[in-house]
Structure 1
């Protein structure tokens, strides 16, 4: 995540050299954006941010308006830890330690948490639930396909944030005593399905949607070779259908770690040559993009049209 723009607080308008009327005027002109009551950011900087970066700004803005000590959780804690999630319009999530619950208002949703055994971390100047609790909460309270994204992410080292991988054993050890039986079942199912071989949030979400739609699980990062040597590693591979599945996220053509010194146009050319070699090896290729994931029926229709096999019912097994 790039460096986020500085927050401009209305309560510090004198230090900022801005009167309340000037703040309103600049907002109307687009020079400032009101993130939350009393909290603003530079308009140009805000519009240059990705949706998940804007959400991270909203979490910080909420923290600036609270007077009581606040622990952020779920999507909000994930944004602080750098753990990817699905969706762009989440409220800010915070904990309340009062058993009667807390008030959810002004874009902030509060959730009760038993203070006994609750581990709280200070990160980037905010109090947040730990990575384990954060991804378990997401697995318990978000749809299955969405829950796979943060789980896949924490199962491998996070070099960008200097964080080690978490094991499935560590994750499952945090379930007992912290969740109701139904939530615990959802968590264990998602953790069992999670896989550190997933290459990106889009790949993780795709795999979760495939499972929900009833498709047979593909092999991940399948090695493909031809007469000239290694072609590459397929995001997904269905052996019986001789089909390669590829998720085309924007990262492949923009982020330095993917480009490896190439220009975006060269990356497109290289990807086309790679696909030609895959097809020449006798394999078919089906591709999809984020737009297909935002309307899961489109992904399901595309995979079905290419003959991706469905899971066989257990009752159909024959010795």
Structure 2
């Protein structure tokens, strides 16, 4: 239920998709104003500016605060602005612009659809996909032409690995960017390449998953062969509502919680409590859940464990969740 460290996953879905647009500094604007552009290079050498594309810079302070997705979205905008071709930002690049979470690493190039092309062309900066694109599949974010989330998610699910795809689909379903019926129709109508992969991701997708870490954990659970849990289970005791947990295995009596690195900071921010009080309250919450007669095990894990099938398997087995072939009776 919490965001992951910046190097593993970006900021929460509530962030603006393009926070750095207003801070882009273009060499062409400096030159047209009659100023010496060598000051830009010197500022970059001093670490005051970051070069995000040829002739385009951003303040280092703003760059340091940005998530990986936000950084890629800025690179996308700076790169596309240099082209006069009929380009529409696509695939994972489009998702970054729309504010979707992406698993690392970020794309090393900007992905676009160039409707005038029939084949895909890759350069050092851009991947130009030659693909059909209907007008209704094209939208705009702050003036940037970008494929809509449904098309971007469909293309990404066909080409990316299962972990990345489920993170994207879960987020889109949760945020209402598309629904299951529209997503299934889009996948089934997509080109054959990668369609089976996308359908598998769709079968696993669940809008109830509240964070990329939870989505990743579910995919790794499939990889290690443990039974899939119920999501967002609410617990109550005689004193009232206790809370909602990320994962619940009712047949085993096991609770699972994904703890991202900034979980307690985010809880403190939302509730107005200080960090120490949040940690105390969370411990009391867990104690109340553990005391329930239907709960026999409790597991917590973080990003490093979720990314490591062996470690997640050990964490879950210690709590009583075993692979289906060797599950405890």
Normalized against structure 1, the TM-score is what?
0.87
Match of 1:253 in 2: 264
**2:229 counterpart (210, 218, 221):** 218
Q: Residue 135 of structure 1 is aligned with which of 153, 175, 193?
A: 153
The correspondence for 1:309, drawn from 301, 307, 322, is: 322
Q: 2:115 aligns with which of 86, 97, 107?
A: 97
Task: Identify the residue that residue 187 of structure 2 maps to in structure 1.
Answer: 175
Q: How many residues align?
A: 306
| Residue 14 (structure 1) aligned with residue 31 (structure 2) | yes
| Residues 253-305 of structure 1: CA deviation (Å, up to 9, x unaligned) | 33479723333333222211111112222432211112223444432332234
> Which residue in the other structure is 1:288 paired with?
301
**Cα RMSD over matched residues?**
2.4
User: Are residues 147 and 283 of structure 1, via their aligned partners in 2, closer, same or farther at CA, if it must alter by over 3 Å?
Assistant: same
Q: Determine if contact 1:241/1:307 at 8 Å carries over to the other structure.
A: yes
In the TM superposition, residue 22 of structure 1 has moved relative to its aligned partner by 1.3
Question: Which ranges of structure 2 fall in alignment gaps of 5 or more residues?
Answer: 1-14
**Would you say the 8 A contact 2:26–2:55 is kept in 1?**
yes
Task: Judge conservation of contact 2:44–2:50 (CA < 8 Å) in 1.
Answer: yes
Q: Does 1:44 align with 2:74?
A: no
Match of 1:317 in 2: none
Residue 227, structure 1, aligned to residue 238, structure 2 = yes
Name the residue aligned to 1:110. 128
Of residues 76, 79, 83 in structure 2, which corresponds to 1:66?
Answer: 83
Equivalent position SS for 2:112: strand
Unaligned runs of 5+ in 1: 159-163, 314-319
**CA gap 1:296/1:73 in 2 versus in 1, 3 angstroms:** farther
The 3 A distance-change label for structure 1 pair 197 and 176 is closer
User: Residue deviations 1:1-38, cap 9 Å, x none?
Assistant: 25325111111123677523211111111111111111
Q: Partner residue of 2:100?
A: 83
Where 1:146 maps in the other structure, the secondary structure is helix
Question: Distance in 2 between the 1:213 and 1:107 partners?
Answer: 37
Query: Secondary structure at 1:65's aligned position in 2?
Result: coil
Q: Report the secondary structure of 1:215's partner residue.
A: coil
1:33 aligned partner: 50
**Cα shift at 1:116:** 5.6
Using CA pairs under 8 Å that are at least 6 residues apart, name the structure with larger relative contact order, 1 or 2. 2
Query: What is the CA–CA distance in structure 1 between the aligned matches of 2:278 and 2:268, rounded to whole Å?
Result: 12
The CA distance in 2 between the partners of 1:275 and 1:18, in whole Å, is 61
Q: Does the CA contact (< 8 Å) of 1:236 and 1:244 recur in 2?
A: yes
Confirm or deny: 8 A CA contact 2:88 2:145 kept in the other structure: yes
**C-alpha distance in 2 between matches for 1:96 and 1:58:** 18
